[in-house]
Amino acid sequence: MLQRVALLQRAVLHSPAIRSLSSGSVDITAPLNFWGGKRRESKERNNVENVYEPSTGRVLCKLAPCGAAEVDQAVEVAKSAFGPWSKMSGMERARVMIEAAHIIEKRREEIAEMEVVNNGKSITEARLDVDSARLCIEYYAGLSSTLAGQHVQLPGGSFAYTRREPLGVCVGIGAWNYPFQIAAWKSAPALACGNTMVFKPSPVTPVTAVMLAEIYDEAGSPQGLFNVVQGGQQTGSLLCHHPDVAKVSFTGSVPTGQKIMKTASKGVKPVTLELGGKSPLLIFEDSDLENAVRGALMANFLSQGQVCSNGTRVFVQKDILHKFVNEVVKRTQAIEIGDPLLESTKMGALVNRTHLEKVLAFVDQAKKEGATVLCGGEPFIPSDPKLRHGYYMTPCVLVNCRDDMTCVREEIFGPVMSVLSFETEEEVLERANDTTMGLAAGVFTRDVQRAHRVIEHLKAGSCFINNYNITPVEVPFGGFKMSGIGRENGQVTIEHYSQLKTVYVEMGDVDSLF
Ligand code: NAD
pLDDT at 6 over 90: no
Closest CA to 472 of 488, 495, 458, 484: 488
- Class level of CATH domain 67-275: alpha beta
Residue 335: predicted pLDDT: 98
**Closest atom, ligand 1, to C-alpha of 479:** 41
Mean pLDDT on 486-511? 97
Query: Atom of ligand 1 at shortest distance to CA of 200?
Result: 9
pLDDT of residue 4: 55
Are 17 and 28 in contact by the 8 Å Cβ rule? The answer is yes
pLDDT in tens, 43-87: 888 889 999 999 999 999 999 999 999 999 999 999 999 999 999
pLDDT of 183-208, one tens digit each?
999 999 999 999 999 999 999 999 99
- The residue length of the chain stands at 514
pLDDT band with cut points at 50, 70 and 90 for residue 20:
very low
pLDDT tens-digit series, residues 264-274: 999 999 999 99
Residue 108 has φ and ψ, to the nearest 5°, of -50, -50
Q: How far is the CA of 277 from the centre of ligand 1 (A)?
A: 12
Query: Rounded to an integer, what distance in angstroms lies between the CA atom of residue 11 and that of residue 53?
Result: 10
pLDDT at 353: 98
Confidence of residue 168 (pLDDT cuts 50, 70, 90): very high
Quote the ligand 1 centre to 274 CA distance (angstroms).
9
List 161's β-bridge partners, or say none: 151, 503
Asked if residue 274 has its Cβ within 6 Å of ligand 1, the reply is yes
pLDDT in tens, 361-418: 999 999 999 999 999 999 999 999 999 999 999 999 999 999 999 999 999 999 999 9
Our answer to whether residue 70 is catalytic in this structure is no
- Look at residue 28 and tell me whether its pLDDT is greater than 80: no
Atom of ligand 1 nearest to the CA of 484: 41
Above 50 in pLDDT, residue 1?
no
Where along the chain do the CATH 3.40.309.10 domains lie? 280-473
Please indicate whether residue 139, judged by its CB atom, sits closer than 6 Å to ligand 1.
no
pLDDT-based confidence at residue 292 (cuts at 50, 70, 90): very high
Q: Do 416 and 398 contact (CB within 8 A), yes or no?
A: yes
pLDDT, tens digit, 9 for 90 and up, residues 302-349: 999 999 999 999 999 999 999 999 999 999 999 999 999 999 999 999
**Helices and strands, number each (H, E), in the chain:** 17, 24
% of the chain residues with pLDDT over 90: 93
Q: CATH topology for 280-473? A: Aldehyde Dehydrogenase; Chain A, domain 2 (3.40.309)
Q: For ligand 1, is residue 174 a contact (CB within 6 Å)?
A: yes
Ordered DSSP codes for 117-142: HHH---HHHHHHHHHHHHHHHHHHHH
Q: What is the mean pLDDT of the chain?
A: 95
CA distances from 141 to 162, 209, 239 (A): 22, 19, 26
Boundaries of CATH 3.40.605.10 in the chain?
67-275
Q: Given pLDDT bands bounded at 50, 70 and 90, which one contains residue 245? A: very high
Work out which ligand 1 atom sits closest to the CA atom of 178: 43
Residue 463 catalytic? no
pLDDT score, position 279: 98
Percent of the chain with pLDDT over 70: 95
CA-wise closest residue to 346 among 311, 294, 386: 294
CB 1 within 8 A of CB 341: yes
Ligand 1 pocket, mutate which of 256, 258, 262 (most atoms under 8 A from CB): 256
Does the beta carbon of 203 sit less than 6 angstroms from any atom of ligand 1? Answer: yes
The predicted structure's pLDDT at residue 9: 55
**Looking at the predicted structure, is the pLDDT value of residue 248 above 90?**
yes
Pairwise pLDDT comparison (82 vs 8), residue with the higher score: 82
**pLDDT higher than threshold 70 for residue 249:** yes
Per-residue pLDDT at 43: 86
Q: Which position among 61, 308, 401, 407 bears the catalytic label?
A: 308
Q: Specify the pairing of strand 280-283 against strand 440-444.
A: parallel
Predicted confidence (pLDDT) at residue 10 exceeds the cutoff of 70: no
Provide the pLDDT confidence category of residue 14 given band limits of 50, 70 and 90: very low
Q: Average of pLDDT values for 417-433?
A: 98
256 lines ligand 1 (CB under 6 A): yes
Taking the model in full, what pTM does it have? 0.95
pLDDT at residue 29, as a whole number: 72
* pLDDT band (50, 70, 90) for residue 18: very low
For residue 45, the model assigns a pLDDT of 81
Q: Is 464 helix (H, G, I), strand (E, B) or coil?
A: strand
> Is the model's pLDDT at 242 over the cut of 50?
yes
Strand partners, 50: 62
Q: Whose alpha carbon is nearest atom 22 of ligand 1?
A: 233
pLDDT at 5 > cutoff 80: no
Average pLDDT over residues 116-125: 98
